[in-house]
Amino acid sequence: QKATPTYRIGFSQCTNGDAWRQAMLAGMNKELSFYPEVSFRMKDAKYNSALQEQQIKEFLKEGIDLLIVSANETEPVTPIIEEVYNRGIPVVILDRRTTSKLYTAYVGGNNEEVGLMAGNYVANLLGQRGKVLEVLGAPGTSPAVDRHRGFTKALATHPGVQLVGEVNSNWERPSVLARLPAVLRQHPDADLIFAHNDRLALGAYQVCKQLGLSQRVKIVGVDGLPGIHGGIQLVQDGVINATLLYSPGGEEAIRTAMRILRKQPYDKENTLGTLVIDSTNVLIMKLQTEKLTSQQQDIQRQQQLLRQQRDTYASQQTVLYVLAAA
C-alpha cells in the first residue's frame, strides 16, 4: 500500500548528460527517500532553453506544488520561471540563476566567489607573473558570467598576471578540443588555462598535450567531483594543477523545498562554499569523499532492507486478515 503523495515536486534540469548533474540527481534521490509523501519528476531540457520553457509549461499543466529549476540560459528561461512564481507556486533556483528576483529560494555555489578564488590562486601559483587563458562556460549561463566576472576582478588586483585570451565553450569537452588550438597557437607563451569546469579543463589538457605544451602550461578547473573521472582524480593524477570545489547541492535543494512546502522557516539564499583542491589537500579530499560515498551506499542498503521488511509485514498482515475472516 503506497501513501498518496502529499507534495508534487517538478525538477526542470538544463541537462542531465554529465557526471556533475547525475551527482546532483543522486543527492536529490537520497534526500527524497526520507520523504515518501513526495512525488518527484524531472524533465531534462538537454541544453535547450526553448525545450526547457515548454517542459516547465507541461509541469504547470500536470500540476506541481513546487518547482526546482536550473536555468539553461539566464535570459530566455526567466519569463516562464517568473510566471510559475506569480501563480503562487514556490520556485527553488538550483545552481543556474535567472535575471529575476522572483523566486522563493536559491541553492548553489557563489560563482563570482569561485572566479575570485580561482584568480587569486592562479596569481599565486604563477608567482604574480604570467599570461593566462580562460575557457568559459556557455555564453548566457549564469555560472559562466559570474565566474568570469570574479576571475577578472581578482586578476585586476595582480598587475603582473594578464588575461591574454578567452575561449567560449558549450560546457562540454568537444567544444574546447575544437576551439582552443587556434587560441593557443596565437598565444604559445600562455602559462596557465583557467577552465570553467573540469570537463573543459581535461579538454584543455588534451589540446596542450597535442601541441607539446602540457609540461609547461598549468591548468585549473572547477567542480572537484569525486570518482574515477572526476576533478579530484584529475588533480591527483597531475592532469590539472587544481580545481575549485563546486557542489551540486541536490540534497540541500530537496531539504529547502521540503521546508518551504511544510511552511517551516527557510533561508532565501543558501550558498554552498567553495575551496581550492590542489596537491596539498587532494589526498584528504579523496579520502573524505570516498568515506561519504561508502556511507551513502550503507544508507541505501538499509533503506532497501527496511522496504523489504515493510513488504513482508504487509503480506503477513494480509494472511492474518484472511485467517481471521475464515
Q: Is 97 in the site for ligand FRU (CB under 6 A)?
A: no
- Interface with ligand FRU (CB under 6 A), residue from 143, 150, 165, 230: 143
- Window contacting ligand FRU (CB under 6 A); options: 14-22, 74-82, 184-192, 228-236: 14-22
Binding characters for ligand FRU, 195-214, by CB under 6 A (x = yes): --x-----------------
Alpha-carbon distance of 88 to 66, in angstroms, equals: 9
Q: Is 106 in the site for ligand FRU (CB under 6 A)?
A: no
Alpha-carbon distance of 68 to 63, in angstroms, equals: 14
Q: Is 171 in the site for ligand FRU (CB under 6 A)?
A: yes
Min CB(281)–ligand FRU separation in Å? 20
Q: Which of 5/140 has CB closer to ligand FRU?
A: 140
- Residue with the closest Cβ to ligand FRU? 197
Kindly give the pairing relationship between strand 242-245 and strand 276-278. antiparallel
Binding characters for ligand FRU, 18-37, by CB under 6 A (x = yes): x-xx----------------
**Residue 316 vs residues 3, 111, 290, 324: alpha-carbon distances, Å:** 19, 54, 39, 12
Min CB(248)–ligand FRU separation in Å? 8
Min CB(24)–ligand FRU separation in Å? 8
Alpha-carbon distance of 326 to 307, in angstroms, equals: 29
Within a 10 A sphere around the Cβ of 198, how many other Cβ atoms? 30
**Residue 101 vs residues 53, 86, 160: alpha-carbon distances, Å:** 18, 12, 38
Q: Is 244 within 8 Å of 275 (Cβ atoms)?
A: yes
> How many positions of this chain bind ligand FRU (CB under 6 A)?
12
Min CB(172)–ligand FRU separation in Å? 8
**Residue 169 vs residues 175, 197, 207: alpha-carbon distances, Å:** 5, 10, 14
Q: Is 91 within 8 Å of 103 (Cβ atoms)?
A: yes
Alpha-carbon distance of 257 to 278, in angstroms, equals: 34
Q: Which of 12/197 has CB closer to ligand FRU?
A: 197
Min CB(155)–ligand FRU separation in Å? 20
Please report, as ranges, the residues that interact with ligand FRU according to CB under 6 A: 15, 18, 20-21, 95-96, 143, 171, 197, 222-223, 246
